[in-house]
Chains A and B, each alone.
Chain A
Amino acid sequence: MAAPISAPASAQAGLPLPTTGMPRHQVIALAVMVLFFALAPFAGLYSVFLMKVMCFALFACAFNLLLGYVGLLSFGHAAYFGFSSYLAAHAAKAWGFTPELAILFAVAGSALIGLAFGALAIRRQGIYFAMITLALAQMVFFFCLQAPFTGGENGIQSVPRPPLFGFIPMQGDLQVYWLVFALFIGGFLLVYRIVHSPFGQVLKAIRENEPRAISLGYRVDHYKLIAFVLSAALAGLAGAAKAFVVQLASLTDVAWQMSGEVVLMTLVGGMGTMFGPVVGAFTIITMQTYLAEFGAWVTVIQGGIFLLCVLAFRRGIVGEVARLTRKSF
């Protein structure tokens, strides 16, 4: 049943492929994405809309790091996104932090919560993991509802936009735009790097065959936990940026529906792909913004799109493109 030693077909396959960094088609896709977000505000697209897309795209990328590259379905990612938004808003409003410090503070906060929650959840598998992350996220939600600094149902409103680093003015939307643009591209590249790093290679091995990784001496829980913390921190980065975009931190961003929305974005775009979460976030936010006049029907349309994806494009938009072109995006 086995091929003889000198199987001719293997001659070509036998060439060891050196690892060469980002392949060309991905460089092109990245360039298209960067150019799009750099030029879109000048092409008549509403900058607040674009900033929201970038915040949610980063959020979805962070979520996808866990779902797509570790195989863990967290159903409580709104906790890191939304709570970080509160932290940044509070630091800027009550303590007068400059944006970069407020964001740093919020990211550190989400990483810490991620560490605590991750340590509790990581030992469970599948549906139990999803349930624990959801339960913990609900605790964060009720904390935000009750805590004195979060403003209850009103949230933290009129978040100030003090100058970046204390001297770069942040009053106009376009000035905030470049900050969000930098954070989004930076965050995207960081996710790319994590996935394509020695650490990312171990994550891949764990996903492919966890018992084998253990038998090679990998303490797999450590790797999963680090991935969880990185994902929570990046979700926090997205949430903190959003607080400066809409100048508001509210319960919407910590609610379980938000956790569901990021799952939706990731699946629609294509989980386990680099660009899928960005495309997914763009699709969903566009629908919410431009179909807003249909009111409650947006939810129904969203549900329909989700159904379509699950039934017809199981790999998501980018996942299907990758399958058709036989390239990974």
Chain B
Amino acid sequence: MTADYILETRGLTKEFKGFTAVNQVDLKVRRGTIHALIGPNGAGKTTCFNLLTKFLQPTRGAISYNGRDITRMKPADVARLGLIRSFQISAVFPHLTVLENVRIALQRSRGASFDFWRSDTALDSFNERALELIEWVGLSDYAGSVAVEMPYGRKRALEIATTLALEPEMMLLDEPTAGMGHEDIDRIVQLVKRVSAGRTVLMVEHNLSVVSTLCETITVLTRGQVLAEGDYQSVSTNPEVIQAYMGTAHG
């Protein structure tokens, strides 16, 4: 029943000069769910994201998205299929305003990105939609602010607004709440919940209370390999998972 799964990998492997960062990973992400990828630092989660979005070329294995083999595709083309990622370090255009950040995405999906002979006032036609998205993530007060000057949590919200402008079918979020205080975490959790309506989300997340609130399925990765998979209840009581987490600094 492949149709149930939007993203599937078979034997996904990445080696860096003899070191295997991702090892024989078979991942299946069910359409319309929020799926978590957890594991200690250095487990290979970010590498996995880089492989799925083709920022890295896998050493072995295959990736299929919507039943289509994307193993050999270029990252920009994967994005054009509706699979959009964020980055572990915040992914905004720092010296553009919030409004301009969102317009960059709108510009790509609605054309006008090659027009070098037109005035940039042509971009004002995207303002209405951009402001809608900015309001949707609760950044209306910041629309004219330069991205770099915003607090960290707001940058993450801006990233989501920018991603949403492309109306992606699937979003990959790499540690969306890392380094945030309670208030910001709550806001991002609510946002991810709203964003997930009608789409699939795969997220790397260290905060287990966030994982338990949001995610239906959890895949635990250690040393590049899948250690366990299932819902929060089954994963959190799995002795091997507890063992793996005991050995590291965070919970």
Q: Name A residues whose Cβ lies closer than 8 Å to a Cβ of B.
A: 1-7, 10-11, 13-21, 193-194, 196-202, 204-205, 208-209, 211-220, 222-223, 226, 230
A13 to B113, CA, bound (A): 27
Looking at the complex, which one of B55, B96, B118 makes contact with A197 (CB distance below 8 Å)? B118
Query: A215 and B123: CB pair below 8 A?
Result: no
A198 to B119, CA, bound (A): 7
Query: A205 and B143: CB pair below 8 A?
Result: no
Report the minimal beta-carbon distance from B145 to chain A, rounded to whole angstroms. 4
Additional pairs, 9, CB under 8 Å, beyond known A197-B115, A216-B166? A3-B151, A6-B141, A14-B143, A18-B121, A197-B119, A205-B93, A212-B87, A217-B76, A230-B116
Query: B115 and A5: CB pair below 8 A?
Result: no
Chain A residues near B163 (CB, 8 Å)? 216
A193 to B87, CA, bound (A): 32
Known A-B contacts A198-B115, A219-B74; the reply to A208 vs B141 at CB < 8 A is: no
Known A-B contacts A1-B151, A1-B181, A14-B142; the reply to A205 vs B96 at CB < 8 A is: yes
Query: A14 and B144: CB pair below 8 A?
Result: yes
Query: B93 and A215: CB pair below 8 A?
Result: no
- B interface residues, tally (CB under 8 Å): 61
Name the 7 nearest CB pairs between A and B, nearest first. Answer: A217-B79, A199-B116, A2-B151, A14-B141, A212-B91, A2-B153, A16-B143
A215 to B82, CA, bound (A): 10
A214 to B93, CA, bound (A): 12
Query: A218 and B141: CB pair below 8 A?
Result: no
Query: A215 and B53: CB pair below 8 A?
Result: yes
Query: A226 and B181: CB pair below 8 A?
Result: no
Asked if B84 CB lies within 8 Å of chain A CBs, one says yes
Asked if B131 CB lies within 8 Å of chain A CBs, one says yes
Pick from B31-39, B99-107, B207-215 the stretch touching chain A. B99-107
Report the minimal beta-carbon distance from A256 to chain B, rounded to whole angstroms. 29
A198 to B93, CA, bound (A): 15
Query: A196 and B184: CB pair below 8 A?
Result: no
Query: B145 and A219: CB pair below 8 A?
Result: no
Query: B93 and A204: CB pair below 8 A?
Result: yes
Report the minimal beta-carbon distance from A239 to chain B, rounded to whole angstroms. 21
Asked if B122 CB lies within 8 Å of chain A CBs, one says yes
Chain B residues near A6 (CB, 8 Å)? 141
Q: Which of B76-127 contact A (CB under 8 A)?
A: 76-77, 79-80, 84-87, 91-97, 99-100, 103-105, 107-109, 112-124, 127
Looking at the complex, which one of A11, A202, A215 makes contact with B107 (CB distance below 8 Å)? A202
8 CB contacts below 8 A, A to B, read A1-B153, A10-B145, A13-B142, A201-B123, A214-B75, A216-B84, A217-B76, A217-B77
Known A-B contacts A13-B145, A201-B123; the reply to A226 vs B114 at CB < 8 A is: yes
Q: Which of B138-189 contact A (CB under 8 A)?
A: 138, 140-145, 149, 151-154, 162-163, 166, 180-181, 183-184
Report the minimal beta-carbon distance from B38 to chain A, rounded to whole angstroms. 22
Report the minimal beta-carbon distance from B82 to chain A, rounded to whole angstroms. 9
A230 to B115, CA, bound (A): 13
Q: Which of B38-88 contact A (CB under 8 A)?
A: 53, 55, 74-77, 79-80, 84-87
